Structure 1
Amino acid sequence: MTLEERIRMVRERIAQAAREAGRDPADITLEAATKVQTSETIRAAIAAGITVCGENRVQELTAHLDDYAYDGARVHFIGHLQTNKVRFVVGRVDLIESVDSPRLLEAVDRQAARLGLVQDILLEVNIAREESKGGCLPEDLSALAQQAQALEHVRLRGIMSIPPVAAFPGENRGFFAQTRQLFVDIRNKMGDNDSDINCLSMGMSGDYEDAVREGATLVRVGTALFGPRPPMHP
């Protein structure tokens, strides 16, 4: 299949899952996870209709930005972000999806203040409590959201989660449902800021349809669009 055909297929499956859940397919955004892809592939994806690209690594993000590879699309940072690399990301992406600690949140706020801007963020929650993954624990999410709301140079837009790799279809629906409930709870607690909190980022190539069925507004899809990933760059 060509890249255009794979993008069309994924969009059709998103739409079908949305209709099964009584949702409007237009309410779900397909984000192309462009980890280890070339600038040429990213440009081809955007030309084929991709409107949001998600990058995992700061080095690749900056290289693609310098190469104008994302022109015509919004850019999100979706990987683990170290505080010493915040300056390479804040103000250069539309959304940071992986803020997971008070320390990182404060670092993003400080850098945004230096630049005189407000950085949109998501809070990442470790919904399955996996030691190998980032994300705050579910019971810590509310306090982190309250901290984000109090800062002047970040704007909380929602939450993100990465459940375990599903061994069989439907395995992650419980994790997605839990994440959806956390999203609803945070919106209810934010009061006058709840209108900004409209992004629930969950679901990847192996489980994005179930994520849509459980309320995702943004799905991060890489392999299903681009095929197996090429080797990581040094």
Structure 2
Amino acid sequence: MSIKENLIEIKNTFVNSDCLLVAVSKTKPIEALKEAYAAGIRDFGENKVQEIVDKQPQMPEDTQWHMIGHLQRNKVKYIAPFIHLIHGVDSFKLLKEINKEAKKSDRIIPCLLQMHIAKEESKFGFDDAEMEEMLQSDEIKQLQHVKIVGLMGMATFTENEVVIRKEFKGLKSLFDDLKSKELPQNFDLKEISMGMSGDYIIAQEEGSTMVRIGSAIFGSRN
């Protein structure tokens, strides 16, 4: 099936039509991105800075780039001038670096705080205590060039639907809890980025506003 046919099929399975589909285009050639763009996709997710930097000038100007992978602080400067949303902000140090580079570009960069929701140790992200500590710090209020627009989480890599659903429920519950609090001015919580090719339907059922889908659109990676 073509990329366009795959996209139609995926959209037909959405349980929330308002949920944003971010096409995960990492390792895919620019021709595949252009095919997805022609089929209506404007939001593309990459997990390597070098790949975003290489692809960005080759795509139309209204393409919106999402950094969905682990972002190293020394690489922020390369994407700060144009990145649409950084999904994986997993430390306060990284948030401060994004703020510094955004200021140089005279921008406010939207960010999602990545929460550690999976059982696996390998996944990055804040735990609840680290999040609480950051919210209580005076330093967070000084960051005028970032906007925290939501949370991101990756479920455990498992076939067990009960585990996946529980982890997504936990992220939604944390999101609702945070929204009920008095937060710094640079917080405007709207988005929950959770769900990938294998679990996006469960994620939508549990309140995801943004799903990151790659292989179901572009086919499996080489």
How many residue pairs match? The answer is 220
Once the two structures are superposed, residues 102-128 of structure 1 have per-residue CA deviations (whole angstroms, 9 ceiling, x without a partner) of 111111111111222211100001112
Which residue in 2 is equivalent to 1:4? 4
Provide closer, same or farther for how the CA distance between residues 12 and 133 of structure 1 changes in structure 2, counting only shifts above 3 A. same
Residues 1:223 and 2:212 are matched in the alignment: no
Q: Offset at 1:182?
A: 1.0
CA offset at residue 215 of structure 1? 0.1
> By how many angstroms is 1:161 displaced?
0.5
CA RMSD of aligned residues (A): 1.9
Residues 89, 210 of structure 1: alpha-carbon distance in 2 compared, 3 angstrom cutoff: same
**Contact residue 46 and residue 72 of structure 1 kept, 8 A:** no
TM-score, normalization by structure 1: 0.87
> What is the TM-score normalised by the length of structure 2?
0.92
Seen in structure 2, the aligned counterparts of structure 1 residues 145 and 97 have a Cα distance that, compared at 3 Å, is farther
1:93 alignment partner in structure 2: 83
In 2, Cα distance between equivalents of 1:29 and 1:210: 15
Native 8 Å contact 1:204 1:220 kept in 2:
yes
User: SS where residue 132 of structure 1 aligns?
Assistant: coil
Give 1:117's match in structure 2, choosing from 107, 120, 134.
107
| Identity within the alignment, % | 34
1:62 aligns with 2:53: yes
- State which of 30, 38, 46 in structure 1 corresponds to 2:37: 46
CA contact (8 A) 1:42 1:70 kept: no
Query: Runs of 4+ in structure 1 displaced over 3 angstroms?
Result: 142-150, 168-171, 190-195
Do the aligned partners of residues 214 and 150 (structure 1) sit closer, same or farther apart at CA in structure 2, a change above 3 Å counting?
farther
* Match of residue 22 from structure 1: none
Distance verdict in 2 for CA 1:114–1:71, change over 3 Å: closer
The reply on whether 1:204 has 2:177 as its aligned counterpart is no
Partner of 1:21: none
